[in-house]
Chain A
Amino acid sequence: MSKAVSVLNGAQYSGLAKVEDAGLQGMITLRGDLDSKALKAAVKAATGAEVPARGAITVAENGAAAWMSPDELLLLVPYEDAVAKTTEVAEALKGEHALAVNVSDARGFFRLSGEGAREVLGKVSPVDFDAAAFKPGQFRRSRLAQVAGAFWLNEDGSFYIICFRSVGEYVFKLLSTAAHPQSKVGVY
């Protein structure tokens, strides 16, 4: 099989914040009834994380589960395991009204870290990034300038950003431009 490569193959930019391609990440879209016992068990088994509350992400050692909508989760698993885990989840939810799809290769995945991370993301997204408003563990689907994107904040103050792979280069250039060293606004 051909060698899998992430959207920008490890590209980096340093400015107000550090923008980097976060590499290959296994992602499974799971739709179904988030209150069902079978689904909760399947999510736990696949990621080690609990089903998150509305607008949150739960992170475990080797995976995470993010709240996408009232009937949709995004499961993060190691890239190599994505295919197997998708099958596992689908098997566990047989008979339930649910659907699991491996979307790992359809996504771009970036990490934004450093002092200016909130400010850089704040320039391109209509979200309040004040420290009191956007806290670690919060997961938000929104837009990054002209394209859809999702992000969450880690305990260390860095953001992980997910977008469609087709707009990966756009998002990287967008964040890099917003992180230009001479473009500080100083809001956050």
Chain B
Amino acid sequence: MLILECPYCGVKAEETELAAGGEAHLKRFGPGSSDDDFHDYLFMRENPKGVHFERWRHANGCGKWFHAARCTMTLEVFGTYTAQTSEPTQEIKDKIAAKRPGWTWREFADGQK
């Protein structure tokens, strides 16, 4: 059972109270973009064994979207953070680096500022 703390309510919500929103920090390629970019935006998703970033919604609660960083292998949760950001916060990156030195995920990696 996955338990995530909603950064807006401060509630430790378990999975059944939340709705999964897929991969985090996607950059939208809409009208005017190349077919390749649009294709990748629509279909290409990370499927890592290890550190992963996701969007979640506190559906049976405050109803707000937020981000979560967790490990897909151990279900360990590194932290949750606001939805109003286009990349993981430094605090989250540091927390992950403390537990998974050398982690990488898409364009983000350990040690990157």
Contacts and interface: CB of A to CB of B under 8 A. Distances in A.
Interface of A: 54-55, 68-70, 72, 126, 140-143, 148
A56 to B, nearest CB: 11
Contacts of A148: 60
Interface of B: 8-11, 13-14, 16-17, 60-64
Nearest to A144: B60
B60 A70 contact: no
B8 A70 contact: yes
Given A68-B62, A141-B60, A141-B62, A126 B10 contact: no
Given A68-B62, A141-B60, A148-B60, 18 more contacts: A54-B10, A55-B9, A69-B8, A69-B61, A69-B63, A69-B64, A70-B8, A70-B62, A70-B64, A72-B62, A126-B13, A126-B17, A141-B9, A141-B61, A141-B62, A142-B17, A142-B60, A143-B16
Contacts of B11: 55, 140
Q: Most chain-B Cβ atoms within 10 A of its Cβ — which of A68, A70, A141?
A: A141
B2 to A, nearest CB: 12
A55 B16 CA distance: 19
A141 B14 CA distance: 13
A68 B11 CA distance: 12
A142 B61 contact: yes
A72 B9 CA distance: 12
Which 5 A-B residue pairs are closest in the complex by CB-CB distance? Answer: A69-B62, A143-B60, A141-B61, A126-B14, A70-B8
A55 B61 CA distance: 10
B16 A126 contact: yes
Contacts of A126: 13-14, 16-17
A126 B12 CA distance: 10
Nearest to A148: B60
A72 B64 CA distance: 11
15 contacts: A54-B9, A54-B10, A55-B9, A69-B8, A69-B9, A69-B62, A69-B64, A70-B64, A126-B16, A140-B11, A141-B9, A141-B60, A142-B60, A142-B61, A143-B17
A119 B77 CA distance: 29
Contacts of A143: 16-17, 60
